[in-house]
Amino acid sequence: MEILLDQMAVWFEAGRSVALATVIKTWGSSPRPAGAMMAITDQGEVNGSVSGGCVESAVIDAALRVLVDAKPIRLHFGVANEEAWEVGLSCGGEIEVFVRVFTRDNLECWREARTREERFCVALVLEGAMTLKGADWSIFESGELLGICSQPDPPPVLREAGISAAAGGKTTIMTLDSDQVQEAFLQIIELPRKLILIGGVHIAIPLATLADTIGFEVIVIDPRRLFGTAERFPAVKKLLQEWPQEAFNKLTLTESTALVMLTHDPKIDDPAIKIALESPSFYIGALGSVKTHQKRLERLTAQGVDPEALKRIHAPVGLNLGASTPEEIALAVLAEIIQVWHQQE
């Protein structure tokens, strides 16, 4: 999502108009899940995907029409739809896509919601009063509401639905008994995934690059100034040349955070592991052999860490791909992180 928002910001700065296409419903073997998005400019520039290539051309055509008349369009593609076959939906599934104008104000609202470090629900009006069709609000579990100034607050029934969804619901379409809104798409926006690397060692360089490509916010912590330098890690979100105990005071560890210990130095890795084990982070990994990890467990147990908690540590870190080079090891580590992330769903 961050890549999509960043690209739209660039387009707005260049004076482009932008339409946003969102997959709102799927059946069968659909290529992209509900919530997948694609942005299209008035110049036909595209970022993101709604079908992996199957129906993009038809969606782009619809988006260009939306940018002319400012009226949202709801599209359906499926195996029984001749047009869908013409544009290549050969996977046997069906999808519905909602296309609407997306403004700079919409972008700023979404970005503001992302800064809250909370999962939230975007409530998008699919069917309702013409003044509200295509409008959306970011709704938090607390009931806080973010929307653009030019639109009214959502009807109470939609706000309550958004609060419930933010508290643990799933992305879905909801029918509402309201004069203003009859149908809405409730899209759950998870926290940005973060990868915190403890140690700016050689393996950390390709691991940071791969993770950034996939969309993780990467943070590197290393008190050793020769390792934790901007020259070695030009693209990371944060580079903290501090001991873990100090660095973690500046960070928030959430259920969307992964951490990997890479230094082989107990003075750096062990305190970081202890902090990580007290957090809701979804992944904690540590570099080292089976023998090295056994010594690590013995040290941490002697320091009073619960042996049950220690089972959360993935070590030796990474999937067993037979990796040997730093780049291959980085790939194995990131593959395991992604696997654990999706096993939670």
Average pLDDT, the chain: 90
User: Which of 36-45, 158-167, 175-184 holds the top average pLDDT?
Assistant: 36-45
The gap between the terminal CA atoms of the chain, to the nearest Å, is 18
Residue 98 has pLDDT above 90, yes or no: yes
Nearest to 327 by CA among 150, 170, 209: 209
Q: What is the pLDDT of residues 5-31, one digit of tens each?
A: 999 999 999 999 999 999 999 876 667
Q: How many CB atoms lie within 10 A of CB 167?
A: 12
Q: Which domain holds residue 290?
A: 194-343
Residues 83 and 15 placed together within one structural domain of the fold:
yes
Domain boundary among 162, 189, 216: 189
Domain boundary among 42, 70, 102: 102
**What pLDDT does residue 33 have?**
86
Residues 120 and 17 placed together within one structural domain of the fold:
no
Token pair, residue 163, equals: 């609060």
**What pLDDT does residue 83 have?**
52
**What pLDDT does residue 215 have?**
87
For residue 271, the domain's CATH number is 3.40.50.720
Cβ contact 233:187 at 8 Å:
no
Domain boundary among 157, 189, 221: 189
d(CA 308, CA 344): 19
**What pLDDT does residue 91 have?**
56
Residues 208 and 284 placed together within one structural domain of the fold:
yes
Which residue type is seen at 49? Answer: S
d(CA 123, CA 100): 14
Q: What is the pTM of this model?
A: 0.77
**What pLDDT does residue 92 have?**
58
Residues 115 and 219 placed together within one structural domain of the fold:
no
Residues 244 and 309 placed together within one structural domain of the fold:
yes
Residues 209 and 295 placed together within one structural domain of the fold:
yes
DSSP track, 110-140: HHHHHTT-S-EEEEEEEEE-TTTTT-EEEE-
- Structure confidence at residue 82 as a pLDDT band (50, 70, 90): low
- Structure confidence at residue 222 as a pLDDT band (50, 70, 90): very high
Residues 200 and 339 placed together within one structural domain of the fold:
yes
Q: What b-and-e string marks burial along 30-46, b requiring 16 or more CB atoms within 10 Å of the CB?
A: bbbebbbbbbbbeeeeb
Number of domains in the chain: 3
- Give the whole-number percent of the chain exceeding pLDDT 90: 71
Mean pLDDT of 92-101: 87
Residues 302 and 247 placed together within one structural domain of the fold:
yes
